[in-house]
Structure 1
Amino acid sequence: MTYLYLLVISFLTTLLITPLIIKMAIKLKVTDQPNNRKVHVRKTPSMGGLAMYIGFLISIYFSGIENDFLLPIIIGTLVIIITGMLDDYFELRPLLKLTGQIIAAAIVINNGVVVEFINIPFGSTLNLGWLSIPLTLLWILGITNAINLIDGLDGLAAGVTSIVLLTITIIAFSMFNYFVVFLAMVLLGANLGFLVYNFYPARIFMGDTGSLFLGFMLSVISLLGFKNVTLFSLIIPVLILGVPISDTFFAIVRRAVNKQPLSHPDKSHLHHCLMRIGYSHRQTVIIIYGISTLFGLFAILFSKTTLWGAVIIITLILVGLELLAEFVGLINKNYRPILNFFKRIK
C-alpha cells in the first residue's frame, strides 16, 4: 500500500505539473519542429521529461525511504536532466550529450551500482574483474540511448517504459527486492501521469530531457534488480527491455552497413517500418505496446524457470519471432485486402 501511495503521488504531481511545463516550453520556444525525418506534422512543446522528474523527486521526498544508492541516483539523474534540457534547448553535439551521460553513469558506478561477478550454473562464479566497470558503463549508456531512439511516436517511449517498469516491479517483488520495487513504481506513476498528455495526439513531447532520464533510470533499476545473478538470469533484463534493445541493435547494424555515424538519424526504426506498411500512428504504438508486453511476459516466465526451462523459453522466443516475421511478410505480400480490413478497425 505504501508503494501504491507513492505511485499515486508521482502520478498526480506529474499530471498537475505537465500543463505548466507546456506553457514554459512554449514561452521559451522549446518546441519540436516537423521535418522530413519526423512523423509529427505540427510544432509541439518539448522538455516534458522535466515534469516526470519533478513527480519522481516529490514522491521520493514523501517516501522517507533511506538507501545507500538513493542519493547517487538522484545526483546522477540531475546530471541527466540538465544534459537533456540543454540538448532540447540548444541541440547539443552528440559528444557533449554523451559526456553528460558518462558523468551521470560514473556517479552511480562510483557508488556501487556495478555488476562485479556472475554466478555460472553448476556452482561456479565468473569474476568480471576490471571488466565490471566498462561493462556496467556500456549497459547504462546503451539503455539510456535505446529509450532515446524509440521516442519517435506520441506515447511510444512512455508507454513501452511503463510496461517495462511494471514487469520489473512484478519480478523484483517476487525476489523481495523492495528498493527496486519502490524506484520502479515511483517512476511508473510519473510515466503514467505524463502519458495522459503524451499519447496520440500529443500535447507535449518528453524530449531528450525525458528519454534520457527514463533510459538512465531503467538501466540503473535493472542493474540493481539483477546484478550478481546467474548467467541465464542475465537474459531477464535483456528480455524486459527487448523492444528498445532490438531496435537499437538493428539501428547500429544499419548505420554500420551504410557507413554512417552512430548518431545519424534515419526513418528505419520499428515504428517507421510499421507506419510504412500502412498502420496508423495510434495502431503502430499499440502494436509495439503488445510486443513489449510479450517480452515482459517472457521475462516473468524466464525468472521462474529452471536452467533447461530457460533454454526452452529462449528457443521458443527465437522460433516465435521468426514465425511472426514470416507471417507478417506473407500477409503483407499476399493478403493485402485482409490486412487493409484489420487496419480499418479502430
Structure 2
Amino acid sequence: MLHFEWHEFALAALSFGLCVSIVLLRSRFPRLSGRREDLRAVQSMHTRLTPRVGGVAIFGALGLSVIFAPVSISGPYANFVLANSLLFVVGLAEDLGFHMSPRRRMLAAMGASLLAIWLLGVWLPRAGIPGLDLLVNHWVIGVPLTLLVTAGIANGFNLIDGVNGLASMTAIAAAIALSYIAELAGYATMVHLSMMIAAGIFGFFLVNYPFGLIFLGDAGAYTIGFVLSWFGIAVLLNAPDVSPWAILLTLYWPVADTLLAIYRRSRRNKDVSAPDRLHVHQMVMRALEICILGRNRRQIANPLTTLVLSPFVIAPPIAGVLLWNQNQNAFLAVVVFGVLFFASYAAAPGLIRRFRR
C-alpha cells in the first residue's frame, strides 16, 4: 500500500514555497509573467498577465529529489536530471519572453532524451506489439522510437496546459498510477521516485488551482512530460511483467490530445505545430460558457473545466493499474478509450449548438 513519507512532504513544501515566492515577486520582476502579447495568442485562455514560470518549482523539486533517491540509483538518476535540464532551460527561456519556436522546443526534447540515452545506456525496451518488440532491442529502431515517444509526451503535456489545474492534475494521476504499477510489479525504486514527483507537482497544483495564480509554462509542462515518459520506460526496463499499453494508459490524456491535434491540423492542411483553440479543454470551457454559465464568466468556467474533465482524465490511469500485467486487455482498453475520446469530440459541436442558452 502506498504511503507518504516525510521527504515527499518536503518536496511538496519546496514546490509550494517557490510558487508563492514567484507570485509575490511578479510585480518586481515583470519578466516572470512573460510577454503581454501572450494574452492575444490563439490558444490563450486567460485575461491577465500571470507568472508562467511554475517550471522553476517543478524542476526545483526534481533536483531535490536526487538527494532523497535510493542510493542504488542516485548516480544514474542524477544523470537523468542533468539530461532533463537541457529541456528545462529551453522551456524557461520561452517562459521568460525569449522566443523559442515549437521546432526548437521539440528539438530540445529530443536532444534531452538523446542525452539521457547516452548517459544511461537504455531506451524503450518493448512496445507490447509482437514483432516490433524484437526490433526495438536494436538501437536503430529503439532509439528513434524512444525519442518520438518521450518528446511526444513532453509536448503533449504542454498542449493540455490550457486551463487551471488540468496538466498538473493529469500528471499527479499518472505519477501515482506509475507508482502503483511499480509496487504491484515489485519495482520499489520507482514507487518512491514517482511519489516524489507527484508530491512536487502537488505543491504547484495548490497555487495553480483554482485561481490560476501561476502557470506551469513550457519549462514545467515539458519537464513533467519528459520525466513521466522516462519513468514509464524505467518501469518497463525493470519489471518485465508490466504491459507497455498499461503504461500508455497512465499517460493517456496528453497522448490522445496530441494525436487529435495532429489529425485536426493535418486535415486542415496546417502545420501540426500551429496553435489553435480546438483542444478538448477549450471546447469544454466554451460549452460551459455557452450552455450553462453565460459569457464573461471565464474565471468560473476555467477551473470548472478541469473539474468536469477530471473523471475522464483519471479513468485511463486507473485502468492501467488494474490491467498492469494484462497486455491484451490493456491494449483493448486503449482502443475503447480512444473510440470514446474521438467520438465525444466529434459529437461536441452539435451538442453545444443544441443546448446553447
Superposed CA deviations along residues 23-81 of structure 1, whole A, max 9, x for unmatched, are 45541423144225211111111111101211222233244533153022111121122
Structure 2 distance, partners of 1:259, 1:326, is 19
Count of residue correspondences: 335
Q: CA deviation at 1:97?
A: 2.1
* Stretch moving more, 145-154 or 233-242: 233-242
Structure 1 distance, partners of 2:48, 2:12, is 27
Structure 2 distance, partners of 1:56, 1:306, is 31
SS at match of 2:71: coil
| 1:179–1:29 distance in 2 versus 1, CA, 3 Å | same
- Name the aligned partner's letter for residue 288 of structure 1: L
Select 2:84's aligned residue among 71, 77, 87.
77
The answer on 1:112 being equivalent to 2:121 is: yes
Structure 2 distance, partners of 1:21, 1:167, is 30
Structure 1 distance, partners of 2:319, 2:77, is 29
Structure 2 distance, partners of 1:318, 1:19, is 38
| 1:316–1:56 distance in 2 versus 1, CA, 3 Å | closer
| 1:97–1:46 distance in 2 versus 1, CA, 3 Å | same
Name the structure 1 match of 2:298. none
The answer on 1:252 being equivalent to 2:258 is: no
Q: CA deviation at 1:263?
A: 1.9
Name the structure 1 match of 2:243. 233
Name the structure 2 match of 1:9. 10
Q: CA deviation at 1:247?
A: 0.5
Name the structure 2 match of 1:344. none
CA contact (8 A) 1:240 1:295 kept: yes
CA contact (8 A) 1:143 1:219 kept: yes
For 1:194-343, list aligned pairs within 5 A: 194-227=204-237, 233-278=243-288, 280-305=301-326, 307=328, 309-310=329-330, 313=333, 317=337, 332=352, 336=355
SS at match of 2:159: helix
CA contact (8 A) 1:22 1:48 kept: no
What runs of 5+ residues in structure 1 fail to find an aligned partner? 341-346
| 1:58–1:2 distance in 2 versus 1, CA, 3 Å | farther
Q: CA deviation at 1:333?
A: 6.1
**Aligned Cα RMSD in Å?**
3.0
Q: CA deviation at 1:331?
A: 6.0
SS at match of 1:45: coil
* Stretch moving more, 19-28 or 270-279: 19-28
Q: CA deviation at 1:119?
A: 6.8
CA contact (8 A) 2:280 2:345 kept: no
- Name the aligned partner's letter for residue 93 of structure 2: L
Structure 1 distance, partners of 2:351, 2:102, is 40
Superposed CA deviations along residues 79-107 of structure 1, whole A, max 9, x for unmatched, are 12211111112021233323322221111
The answer on 1:177 being equivalent to 2:200 is: no
Name the structure 2 match of 1:55. 61
Name the structure 2 match of 1:126. 134
Q: CA deviation at 1:164?
A: 0.9
Structure 2 distance, partners of 1:312, 1:85, is 38
* Stretch moving more, 267-276 or 61-70: 61-70
| 1:13–1:203 distance in 2 versus 1, CA, 3 Å | same
What runs of 5+ residues in structure 2 fail to find an aligned partner? 290-300
Select 2:173's aligned residue among 149, 157, 163.
163
Superposed CA deviations along residues 316-338 of structure 1, whole A, max 9, x for unmatched, are 5466557866987786566x39x
Structure 2 distance, partners of 1:141, 1:249, is 13
| TM-score normalised by the chain length of structure 1 | 0.86
Structure 2 distance, partners of 1:29, 1:118, is 42
| 1:22–1:139 distance in 2 versus 1, CA, 3 Å | same
- Name the aligned partner's letter for residue 301 of structure 1: L
* Stretch moving more, 164-173 or 87-96: 87-96
Q: CA deviation at 1:147?
A: 0.4
Structure 2 distance, partners of 1:327, 1:46, is 33
Structure 1 distance, partners of 2:258, 2:268, is 15
The answer on 1:29 being equivalent to 2:31 is: yes
